[in-house]
Structure 1
């Protein structure tokens, strides 16, 4: 009986010590203060002050890391060693999903196909590009305004009013008049929302969604095109589909740009959005403060003063218009909604990942 009482006392002591231990641990957890975030503060002034302080600390740390990296690079240059590797930020572009259709520089099949596709006659200087532009049947003032801007960009292009003509008859007329392409600007609710580009005589037909349109007249400090043939820049059309769409866009422009005009037309593909920009080069001379002080020196000769004028700086001036395209379908042959075969059609089921691109 005595041994049983002792065992009960020992067990009761263990229970009490365990309870005390658990209370201490619970107290320790409660005593830890949670991390204070600016969004958790209700007072607006205090919240803004803490946010500004955190932002300043982040900038100081970034500046400190940049100075340390510059010191390491300068030391490596002095010692003749290899420069320390720079960190490459992770972006959606450099982490895109692997695609079998990405073009490679040593793809002989791709280059052989370029000589036999529908655009080879134009891109090989056998035919001069000639573009017919029109609108949809029920257009607004913004549709012809966009076409007016495009006429100043694409050389050897003409505009015809749509009227009640069917698009197939327009394509037949363009083929008889030896046009190489047809561009149709579609409007919805008085705003251009789509662009149809038809290659002639055998297609293909590309349908683009058009967004973020800013016309030439709406751009601040815009430049005026001079009528010269522009230089064409195509960026990031890396897949087989992108290569084909890029060649369709190339066939709209002459392949002998006049660099004297300093005009540049850019189609930049990023995440399957094609950004259109139209710029011109502007060359300016900027005087340095040191050179200006030297020019005030009376002892310098006239020849020395001429050489101390300043550096020539090149900048870009946007001419407009500005818009964004997204490919929705690519069809074999000329435009045919009923019996046409499609090479590629964008569907909502294809958007399974943010890192999957088709162009």
Structure 2
């Protein structure tokens, strides 16, 4: 029966079989390795090979684009949570006549028409600690024509009539928990609305690296980014109404409210002109992050107030690609 088998028979002089070539990455899962150190070593090797392959593919695509020149296809746009956002029916169109009518008749219209000058009262919760007090003092240097007063046990329902009698246009309340500022209430006077925010990531001026000198008394420029829905449009106008609408550009100061994934990041910068074509920015501080909890009609009333919008986590946070501002 010679010729039926193609394999070599042991002992016929064909020699030992050739060793199998070790493939990497291995055909088995790294998680199956029992030894912890060996498992970690194999994982690092696998990540390193992935980086090499990614870099080689990137170089190959760059050479292809250089060879094609103007005929090269456009670069692919990476997928992010922002550009995959679920469309909101209340997205604002600046050219919409209904939006323009609402802007001309809402509570903030006198400020945008320069008929009213903002006057802000900044106060705190009862018995504020040093960090909250310093934050209020620094916030007063950012917002022009703002004044800091301490609660001294007064309820907000008693403070609001006094603010209206003294021609204050807005009331800002900074709340704290365990000596750390953790909340902000912004109430527009005399008829509202009132917004309640959760505050986090507070950094005072001394805690910011490479900060600039103390801010000057110039009226800063205000930048509002990414407030696209009707709710976000209202919140953006509330922030804009805190500042006079005649910025003094000679001061080179700018206050930015940047909305990203329903988190509002506040930064205060100064422009640094290096040449006619180059410009840099220098952060002055303070900085903080806000998350809207509720928007209430009228002034602050926690018991009988009518709410326009309330953040309900279990109902509203079911999708990572759905945003409300």
Give the number of aligned pairs: 298
Q: Please give the secondary structure, in 2, of the residue aligned with 1:150.
A: helix
Q: Please give the secondary structure, in 1, of the residue aligned with 2:105.
A: coil
| Structure 2 Cα separation of the partners of residues 351 and 169 of structure 1 | 36
Q: Is the 8 A contact 2:111 2:117 kept in 1?
A: yes
2:267 is the counterpart of 1:277: yes
| Structure 1 Cα separation of the partners of residues 268 and 142 of structure 2 | 8
**Structure 1 equivalent of residue 17 of structure 2:** none
Counting only pairs closer than 5 Å after superposition, residues 84-233 of structure 1 correspond to structure 2 as: 84-224=73-213, 225-233=215-223
Structure 1 residue runs of 5 or longer lacking an equivalent are: 1-32, 286-310
**Structure 1 equivalent of residue 279 of structure 2:** 314
More helix by share: 1
Picking from 331, 335, 339, the partner of 2:304 is: 339
**Structure 2 equivalent of residue 238 of structure 1:** 228
Taking a change above 3 Å as real, the CA distance of residues 190 and 65 of structure 1, as seen in their structure-2 partners, is same
Picking from 71, 77, 81, the partner of 2:63 is: 71
| Structure 2 Cα separation of the partners of residues 121 and 50 of structure 1 | 66
| Structure 2 Cα separation of the partners of residues 90 and 41 of structure 1 | 37
Calculate the TM-score normalised by the size of structure 1: 0.77
| Structure 1 Cα separation of the partners of residues 52 and 94 of structure 2 | 44
Q: Cα deviations across residues 305-324 of structure 1 (Å, max 9, x unaligned)?
A: xxxxxx97432222111111
Counting only pairs closer than 5 Å after superposition, residues 6-85 of structure 1 correspond to structure 2 as: 34-37=27-30, 40=33, 42-44=35-37, 46-47=38-39, 49-77=41-69, 80-81=70-71, 83-85=72-74
Q: Cα deviations across residues 250-300 of structure 1 (Å, max 9, x unaligned)?
A: 101122222222212111111111111112222347xxxxxxxxxxxxxxx
| Structure 1 Cα separation of the partners of residues 258 and 118 of structure 2 | 22
Q: Is the 8 A contact 2:118 2:242 kept in 1?
A: yes
Calculate the TM-score normalised by the size of structure 2: 0.84
Taking a change above 3 Å as real, the CA distance of residues 39 and 169 of structure 1, as seen in their structure-2 partners, is farther
2:324 is the counterpart of 1:358: yes
Q: Cα deviations across residues 62-94 of structure 1 (Å, max 9, x unaligned)?
A: 3333333333433443xx53x413222222222
Picking from 248, 273, 285, the partner of 2:238 is: 248
Q: Cα deviations across residues 175-210 of structure 1 (Å, max 9, x unaligned)?
A: 122221110111122111110001112110000001
TM-aligned CA deviation for residue 229 of structure 1: 1.4
Runs in 1 of length 4+ with deviation above 6 angstroms? none
Report the aligned-residue RMSD.
2.2
Q: Is the 8 A contact 2:94 2:100 kept in 1?
A: no
Structure of greater Rg: 1
Taking a change above 3 Å as real, the CA distance of residues 352 and 128 of structure 1, as seen in their structure-2 partners, is same
Q: Cα deviations across residues 208-234 of structure 1 (Å, max 9, x unaligned)?
A: 001111111222221121222112111
TM-aligned CA deviation for residue 39 of structure 1: 8.4
Q: Is the 8 A contact 1:72 1:84 kept in 2?
A: no
Moved more, 342-351 or 203-212: 342-351
